[in-house]
Amino acid sequence: MMLRIRGFESKAAECFTKGMLAGNIHLCIGQEAVPTGACMALEPEDYMASTHRGHGHCIAKGADTDKMLAELFGKKTGYCKGKGGSMHIADVAGLHSLGANGIVGAGIPIATGSAFASKIWGDKHVTLCFFGDSASNQGTFHEAINMAAAWKLPVVYLCENNSYGVSTDIHGVTNTDTIAVRAKAYDIPGETVDGNDPVTVYEAVKKAVDYAREGNGPSIVECLTFRHQGHYCGDPAVYRPAEYMEHAHEKDAIPNFRKKLLEQGTATEEELVAIEKAVDEEIEAAYKFANESDYPDPSEATTDVYSSDNERSVVR
């Protein structure tokens, strides 16, 4: 899974650099262990809300890389028919993926509302809410977690702390060492873990998911991680000290986990090479699918604004 995410992101970066993608993309290279471990702790029926840096979340929740890359290309075969792009990939009915979001912190109340529905229906589904360190400084973080705690809603707040909001160091704008310590304010569990190890992430999130499913309410799980790229693809990230990337490479989950699997004897070199080859093939196929798909017909611009009265509502 981590390889699939990195493969997808690397291909997206390549296409963006070649000028094949419009707009902007936010890559999660370096953060792969977090969505991988976190989504493994979910049941397929559980819900997930993502962020602007959300490709990894979607893939980990089960998204097809071909439909995802097609969406990045703005093609009609994409998850959102080319209407959402990188920051709005969703598969609500199928994967229970409630969507990425272009507004930092906006997914937190939406995920909480999903958990609110589960609480009212008593359906036992848990909602996993991804957000970044900087989203924790939005008012929505406080408002939503306060309500989730007061009403014991089945939601897990997963903070991907990569230390930067665009160029701003989280420690320069936040007085606490961790984000998870804020859980105390809501009298809920909060834990900070190494987000560079998928097993550690899995274990922490599994505990929080079980806790939520048993009716105990929300938790905050903070995963410390590294954003290898800048804020957006092409951002040279001159605002970061050199040590940041040194740590990032040292802690890079993909080579480290590979080494660990070999050392433990969990996998052989041949098995790992086979996996790497399969991922390369999948991503190449996704690229071919996205590149060869058609753009939406311009007449599609005015569909899907409304579910009823669409035609007359978009005219006047």
Partner 1 sequence: MSKKISVSKAIGEALHEEMTRDENVIILGEDMGKMGNVFGITVGFQEEFGAHRVWDTPISESGFCGMAVGAAMRGMRPVVELMYNDFITVAADPIFNQAAKMRYMTGGQATVPMVLRVPMGAGRRNAGQHSQCFENLFCHMPGLKVIAPCSAEDAKGLLKSAIRDDDPVICMEHKLLYAKKEEIPEGEYTIPLGKAAVKREGTDLTIITWSREVNFALEAAAELEKEGISVEVLDLRTLVPLDWEAIVASVSKTHNVIVVSEEVKRGSYAGELSAQIAEELFDELDAPVERVCGLNIVSPFSPTLEDENFPHPADIVKAVKKVLNK
CB of 279 to partner 1, least distance (A): 27
Among 144, 188, 208, 221, binds partner 1 (CB under 8 A): 144
Q: What DSSP letter does each residue of 247-288 carry, written as one string?
A: HHHHT-HHHHHHHHHHHHTSS-HHHHHHHHHHHHHHHHHHHH
Q: What residues are paired with 127 via a beta bridge?
A: 47, 155
The catalytic position among 55, 231, 244, 287 is 231
Q: Which is nearer to partner 1, 42 or 80 (CB)?
A: 80
- Kindly state whether residue 185 participates in binding partner 1, applying the rule CB under 8 A: no
Nearer to partner 1, 151 or 232 (CB): 151
Shortest separation between residue 297's beta carbon and partner 1, angstroms: 13
* Residue linked to tokens 């007085």: 175
The two structure tokens encoding residue 58: 């979607």
Can 227 be counted among the known catalytic residues?
yes
Minimum gap (Å) between residue 126 Cβ and partner 1: 13
- The answer to whether 112 contacts partner 1 (rule: CB under 8 A) is yes
Q: What is the DSSP string of 52-85?
A: SS-HHHHHHTT--HHHHHHHHTT-TTSTTTTSS-
Q: Is 231 a catalytic residue?
A: yes
Is 278 or 314 the residue whose CB approaches partner 1 more closely? 314
- Residue number, 30 or 154, with CB nearest to partner 1: 154
User: Can residue 44 be called a binding residue for partner 1 (CB under 8 A)?
Assistant: no
CA distance 255 to 78: 31
Other Cβ atoms less than 10 A from the Cβ of 260: the count is 14
Residue 301 CB partners (closer than 8 Å, separation 6+): none
Q: Which residues pair with 193 in a beta bridge?
A: 223
Query: Nearest 5 degrees, angle CA 243-CA 53-CA 233?
Result: 65
Contact status: 305 vs partner 1 (CB under 8 A): yes
23 near partner 1, judged by CB under 8 A: no
The least CB distance from residue 65 to partner 1, in Å, is 17
Q: Considering only residues 114, 134, 161, 196, which one is a binding residue for partner 1 as defined by CB under 8 A?
A: 114
Round to the nearest angstrom and report the end-to-end CA distance of the chain. 47
Catalytic choice (202, 213, 239, 240): 239
For partner 1, the closer of residues 210 and 304 by Cβ is 304
Binding mask 72-111 toward partner 1 (x if CB under 8 A, else -) reads ------xxxxxxx---x-xxxx----xx-xxx--x-xxxx
Over the range 237-252, which residues count as b (16 or more CB within 10 Å of their CB) and which as e? beebeeebeeebeebb
Question: How many residues touch partner 1 (CB under 8 A)?
Answer: 52
- For the bound state, the minimum distance from the C-beta of residue 316 to partner 1, rounded and expressed in Å, comes to 5
Strand partners of residue 48: 97, 128
Minimum distance of partner 1 from residue 145's CB (angstroms): 9
3-state helix, strand, coil in the chain (%, to 5): 50, 10, 40
Nearer to partner 1, 34 or 49 (CB): 49
> If 0-12 CB within 10 Å is exposed, 13-18 middle and 19+ buried, where does residue 312 land?
exposed
Q: What residues make contact with partner 1 under the rule CB under 8 A?
A: 47, 49, 78-84, 88, 90-93, 98-99, 101-103, 106, 108-120, 139-140, 142-144, 146-147, 150, 303-309, 312-314, 316
Which residues are known to be catalytic? 227, 231, 239
